Amino acid sequence: MRTPRRQPSGTAPAEGRPLPDDASEGGLLIPLRRLDERRAAMAEISDEALLAACGIGDSAALGALFDRHHLAVYRLVSRLLRTDPSDIDDLVQTTFLEVWRSASRYGGRGSVKSFLFGIAANTVRHHVRSAQRRRNAIAEWEPPTPRNAPDDALSQAQQVGRLAAALDLLPHDLRVAYVLCDLEDIAGVEAARMLGLRAGTMWRRLHDARRALRAAIEEGAP
């Protein structure tokens, strides 16, 4: 029986189509390794380049941004709005969908992470206005008070509970200012830029938030 001769790499078979380099006698070999290579390449691209790629419709770039920053966005959203984890997941997804739509608006002022945080904060604001569900989980944030706990541990638990309750009752704009600047350690000027505010407005909101929280803790102290 005569063995068929293999055609040289890159030559055309009988039907006229070029033969891929990774073709074999029994069919085509699917180059799955190229997917890993693309993921590795994405890991080396800057946030700015990925966001620019999102602006021209590259879904892989959006996936890479999500992989890098979704945990930070999740943490921010969970601090701005205490609700079910599934609701937070939905808001994170909504944030990145908005990033996809708004990528072309990024002008290079501030980091891409700050751009994402600004979109996340606005997403939560719209959610709060339409749903008004942020007070439902206040009891879940209060740490349980152990029986026969020492006085200092009991006092600390009560203070944390008062702070949680006071933060939840802050107007949304003051809450955003406090979370971004005091919990996420974002500079006031950067936070103001993220939200499209004047720096003076941000500092005033942060001052009012700190004063309100301090007063709530002091009023509840024994």
Share of the chain above pLDDT 90, in %: 23
**Coil vs helix vs strand at 115:** helix
Whole-number Å distance between alpha carbons of 173 and 129: 12
| Interval 79-126: pLDDT, tens | 998 778 888 999 999 999 999 999 988 888 889 999 999 999 999 988
Domain positions in the chain = 42-137, 146-222
pLDDT at 67 over 60: yes
Question: For the domain bounded by 42-137, which CATH number is listed?
Answer: 1.10.1740.10
CATH number of 146-222, picked from 1.10.10.10, 2.60.120.1570, 1.10.10.410, 3.30.499.10:
1.10.10.10
Predicted model pTM: 0.56
| Interval 125-134: pLDDT, tens | 888 876 554 3
Residue 86: the pLDDT is: 85
Domains 42-137 and 146-222 share a fold: no
Q: What is the largest CA-CA distance in the chain?
A: 99
pLDDT at 9 over 50: no
pLDDT at 8 over 60: no
pLDDT at 31 over 90: no
